[in-house]
Structure 1
Amino acid sequence: MYHFNSRNTFFKKPFGAVKETTTVTFTVTSKYETTTPFLCISKEGGREMRISMIAHYAEDGTKIFTADYTFDKLGLYFYCFKFDSGKYGIYNAGKGEGFITERGQWFMQTVYAKNFSTPDKFKGGILYQIFPDRFYESKGKEELAWPDRVYRRDKDGQPFFKWGENETQLINTDYYGGDLKGIMQKLDYLKGLGVTCIYLNPIFEAHSNHRYNTADYMKVDPDLGTTEDFTKLCSECHKRGISVILDGVFSHTGSDSIYFNREKRYGEGGAYNDPDSPYRAWYDFDKNYEHGYRSWWGFPTLPDVEELNKDYVQYICGKNGVINFWLKSGADGFRLDVADELPDEFIEKVRREVKHCGKNKLLIGEVWEDAVTKISYNKRRSYLLGKGLDSTMNYPFRTAVLDFIKNGDGHKFCESIFTIYENYPKEALDNAWNFISTHDTPRGITYLMGKNPDSGDRYWQSQQSVEGDDYKTASKMLVCAYALMFGLPGVPCIYYGDEIGMQGYRDPFNRGYFKWWDQDEYILKNIKWLANFRKSHHEYREGELFFVHASHNAVAYVRYEHEDEVLTAVNRGNGPETFTYKDKQYTIPALNYINAVIE
């Protein structure tokens, strides 16, 4: 029997992803077998290389086989161990364990750029996501900027979701009046919550309440405020130690925009109307497309752009471009919407401009899967290997946390977390955004206790809410989910309103106006406590992770740095659960969590 485990530094050192030119030592052991294996390594798309392993004996008679390999280029590598016969090898059985079989899955090794670094100031922090129209209105509005917008004075009213539900006959045209000045007025609330960074959904001029259909990248939407308001917001945030991240929607624009102008809101020009428009080359016009041009997922209101068109690149990434303008106006970074839709080359150009404006500026990408192994449009993506994104929205962590809290199976949870932990460059993982809810997902409390959102249409979703004893249980489940998330590597993110128990299935029900008049004190108190505990312990910033307990209903893990350790343990079950770590017993109450400093 041969032994190897990629997650144990006795067998593979150093652990996890490594920088270019790093030499990794691989070790295989056997108590009884004497045949020396070969280390077989292949860079993705390259040829297989065989490296002879050196055999020697340990004092107890165990035979130890070792080989060193220097990874000289970034990319994904795959490796296993084979024998002279060629019939059998040591392959990945899961959880890093090797097993002997005729054919199996190879182990994976991430190699990233040796100069890759990400901003330190975000590590160990707490992020708060704000959907600007729905957070806080600084003062009542007499009218909105355009007549085709509907002003919602009924702040507790449900967002419109049906065609023809309002006088515009459209959805996404109801506005609750939230604005930049309103966010400014609530900065002390955010500071009290422990927030160190806010991420704003799109603020640029656009003709929908979500503003993902950009009309003018160089203007704040007038119903949110002005460029001066944004600069003032950034200044007030910075005084409180809070950074500001903007949403960059660069894979498409709105059809109702100064660039495309299909609706002719902006006069007679625009790429749609004028073949000589300076923006014409941004778009792919072809009569074979359903609407005569390529659009995002076929939506005619979202014409795709040619991201590598030189004029478009200059407009976004140039000396006086969009990135430069907003970072100089006070922003601390960008989150790239639908990063999978953007070419790696374009993302790298964005990165260069972001870092030109300051090494401490952040670039995050929206990626829903493992960002290291991600394949989109039949191409392996390289945006997390040091030349593109600093990090990503960590959807795999969200899936793991919610699945465990809702359904159980701590072992599955540990494996899901550790897979990302092993695959991601540490610089990226320490800045990954870990969240329970976003504007694109059901709210955590609804997901955990509500019915499957796939079981009903929007009308059905509009009629659902969690009430009574179910709500009490759901609030405890949500707190447990946040307790798990707050201790994991990366930056925990609070979606506005989660901390007070707001509910809602998918868009638009997860985008209600913040209920300042109806707050769940149990959830709010616990999230404040978790934030304070996290900020009080440096181990959460860049410390290592290992799991110390897993069962169907409970998990426990430790974050450590040097000799300092902190413990996080969560129990989703209906009764207490006890485990032992370092000869000390810990009991997690039913449907609750504990945090402890390990002495």
Structure 2
Amino acid sequence: MTVYTDLPAQHDHTPSYTAHLGQPTGALVPIRLRTTLPVTQVSVKLVRVGEIETHPAEEVPAPANETRPGRWFEFLLPVHSAAVRYSWLLELPDDHLNLTMSGLHHVRRPFRDWFQYLSGYQAPEWAWESVFYQIFPDRFRNGDPSVSVQTGEYQYNGRDVFQVPWTTAPDWNGDIHGHYGGDLSGITEQLPYLTELGINALWLTPIFESPSNHRYDITDYRRIDPHLGGQAAFDRLIGAAAQQGVRVVLDGVFNHVGNENALFKAALASEDAPERSMFTWRSDHPLPYHAFFDVPTLPKIDYASLEARNEFWDGEEGVVRHWLRQGIAGWRLDVAHMMGVNGTDDDNLDLHRALKTAAREERADAYVFGERFFDPERALQGGGEDGAMNYHGFGLPVMQWLSGQSYTLRPSRLNGGEVVELLWDAYHALPPQMALNMFNLLDSHDVPRALYRLGQDRVRLRAAVTLLMGYPGVPCLYYGTEIGLSQTEPAAMPFCRAPMPWPDQGGTPDQWDDRLRQDVQRLIRLRRETPALQRGSLRFLLAEDDAIGYVRELDGVRVAVLASRDSRETPTTLTLPDGDWRDALSGEPVGSGTVQLRLAGGRVLIQS
């Protein structure tokens, strides 16, 4: 693919080029282009009522304090619909060029490549300034042994639950019945550790009453699981987190319930029960109701039912509203792509729009993002989810390139050119606010641990974290990644859910890589202190088989993020954009133009 940073014509979503994001329909928004080409005229093409209109842009003085070379052109973009597609047309003495998100071209590009202006959408911009930390509560820390599940305390799906010693590695036998005893008090206890690391937002996997250790089979959505400490522990966590500047996002399991949920029990008990409509029934299958992947313990909710919609978000006491009123900052939507009506995913986007509306009515800056393993482009147009877990557009390709294997551990020869092409395609397919809302991650409770996939190579893990902390979107670390927590077996669940090896709870020094933690801490601090990394534009700088790099830019500040999958100290030759550059962490000058840099473990450069 073509790698470009200093194109002779530039336009993006940042204030230098787009005056305001999210203006309402009917507004006129100043958009600008800077070019060093010998243009005779600059115009804007926009799509209205299915046709392309062409309007001349006006040459204007460069913005105050602007030092970059070139002439500036401005056009008042009419925001005539919810999403406006536009491109720039540059007339030259003997040629003409089209500028779109995908670069400069001699021919008109598909509309998908054109710039997008999303009207009337207000992003939860606090998320752009956040670094999240995902916690699987049962495995993070036991802060109150008195509430832990006891062996034989109850049966689930015909089998006794049991307590697992904290230092025991997960195995198939434990799967969903073995409880380690992590709880909300343990999270509250370690908030100082997390804030010292630089974390200012948490995503907790489900914490509502459930019989399993993962709690995606919820029994009662309005009751915090007593084995996590109940409501009192939740209130303490939310209060302490707020005092320390940490927001908390909960996991919304709204596609299915647990089979011990009172709503499902009532529906199962009587065909006349009002709860019956909340599930989809069938006579042509051994299982008489639709369920998540036909797992009997996970009956699927049918949102053709008004009762279901009222229960979860439309009603004044709906689950979404209830917990936002109690201080959470948003929702992560489990299997967001599967929610629907009549046992299908029909009406999926309409449902997400309604859910998001309810969330924003309770909290104007609520952050709602969905679990979507695949291409989320269709779902992210401003009305529904704010973003998606960015497996498709970041985590899966980056980790596949670094590790040489897919998340299912299949061998892969993905090279740097291919991964950059995929990243760029996913990024420019979204409106700019959506791209900045994307929830970026390297691993999670559903895929193998990053360090395990990287063959326990901590140098490559540092490279992965470097790319994560610099990329557009909201970065999230899975608990323990910062100290080198790995796994013992070649699969995802349950092995990727090992307990955090706290030294005072049985962890050993070899399980706690403090140097790695310090490196991660420095990268998090850089992310949080650098606005260009939070909301800047994206352009790719480097795409070789074993090395990739990109540049973020905001208000004239440029930051280059570079990484190699070669853990050796082999230098990489690359050309930096004009200007003097230094290492953002060490302060070491690196020059400009064509340079040779060691990129093992990742490098971040800033234009000084």
Pairwise TM-score range, normalised by the shorter structure: 0.7 to 0.9
Report what 1:49 is aligned to. Answer: 51
Q: Could you list the runs of 5+ residues in structure 2 that have no partner in the other structure?
A: 38-42, 58-73, 90-96, 340-347, 405-413, 581-590
Report what 2:169 is aligned to. Answer: 158
Report what 1:462 is aligned to. Answer: none
- The alpha-carbon distance between structure 1 residues 565 and 205, as it changes in their structure 2 partners (threshold 3 A), is same
What's the CA shift for 1:193? 1.0
Distance 1:51 1:427 in 2: 25
Q: Output the amino acid matched with 1:321.
A: G
Given candidates 532, 542, 552, the residue that maps to 2:545 is 552
What's the CA shift for 1:271? 0.8
Given candidates 442, 451, 460, the residue that maps to 1:445 is 451
- The alpha-carbon distance between structure 1 residues 40 and 427, as it changes in their structure 2 partners (threshold 3 A), is closer
Q: Output the amino acid matched with 1:476.
A: V
Distance 1:391 1:303 in 2: 26
- The alpha-carbon distance between structure 1 residues 398 and 76, as it changes in their structure 2 partners (threshold 3 A), is farther
1:503 aligns with 2:486: yes
Percent identity at matched positions? 26
Q: Deviations over 1:207-251 (max 9, x none)?
A: 211111111111111211212211210110111110000000111
- Is the CA contact (8 Å cut-off) linking 2:150 and 2:163 kept in structure 1? no
Correspondences of 1:86-125 after superposition (within 5 Å)? 95-96=102-103, 98=105, 107-109=112-114, 111=116, 113-125=118-130
What's the CA shift for 1:359? 1.0
Distance 1:560 1:80 in 2: 20
SS in 1 for 2:229: coil
1:526 aligns with 2:519: yes
Report what 2:382 is aligned to. Answer: 386
Distance 1:24 1:409 in 2: 39
Distance 1:416 1:107 in 2: 15
Distance 2:557 2:88 in 1: 35
What's the CA shift for 1:367? 1.6
Given candidates 225, 228, 239, the residue that maps to 2:229 is 225
Distance 2:12 2:134 in 1: 38
Distance 1:112 1:281 in 2: 40
Distance 2:517 2:195 in 1: 13
Given candidates 302, 317, 320, the residue that maps to 1:320 is 317
SS in 1 for 2:262: coil
Given candidates 478, 482, 489, the residue that maps to 2:465 is 482
Scaled by the length of structure 1, the TM-score of the pair is 0.78
Scaled by the length of structure 2, the TM-score of the pair is 0.77
What's the CA shift for 1:303? 1.1
Count of paired positions: 525
- Is the CA contact (8 Å cut-off) linking 1:206 and 1:212 kept in structure 2? yes
* Higher deviation after alignment, 572-581 or 482-491: 572-581
Report what 2:150 is aligned to. Answer: 143
Distance 1:244 1:544 in 2: 27
- Is the CA contact (8 Å cut-off) linking 1:73 and 1:111 kept in structure 2? no
Distance 1:120 1:79 in 2: 26
Given candidates 419, 422, 431, the residue that maps to 1:416 is 422
1:311 aligns with 2:294: no
SS in 1 for 2:357: helix
Correspondences of 1:19-98 after superposition (within 5 Å)? 49=51, 51=53, 72-74=80-82, 95-96=102-103, 98=105
Distance 2:124 2:32 in 1: 32
- The alpha-carbon distance between structure 1 residues 489 and 174, as it changes in their structure 2 partners (threshold 3 A), is same
* Higher deviation after alignment, 126-135 or 310-319: 310-319
Distance 1:26 1:208 in 2: 55
- The alpha-carbon distance between structure 1 residues 492 and 108, as it changes in their structure 2 partners (threshold 3 A), is same
Q: Deviations over 1:553-572 (max 9, x none)?
A: 22232222213223322222
- The alpha-carbon distance between structure 1 residues 93 and 427, as it changes in their structure 2 partners (threshold 3 A), is closer
Distance 1:484 1:119 in 2: 23
Q: Deviations over 1:101-129 (max 9, x none)?
A: 9xx96644475651101222222211000
Distance 1:590 1:363 in 2: 35
- The alpha-carbon distance between structure 1 residues 303 and 135, as it changes in their structure 2 partners (threshold 3 A), is same
- Is the CA contact (8 Å cut-off) linking 2:100 and 2:115 kept in structure 1? no
Given candidates 408, 432, 440, the residue that maps to 1:434 is 440
What's the CA shift for 1:175? 0.5
Report what 2:254 is aligned to. Answer: 250
Distance 2:534 2:285 in 1: 49
What's the CA shift for 1:172? 0.9
Distance 1:225 1:23 in 2: 51
* Higher deviation after alignment, 583-592 or 338-347: 583-592
- Is the CA contact (8 Å cut-off) linking 2:101 and 2:115 kept in structure 1? no
Q: Output the amino acid matched with 2:357.
A: R
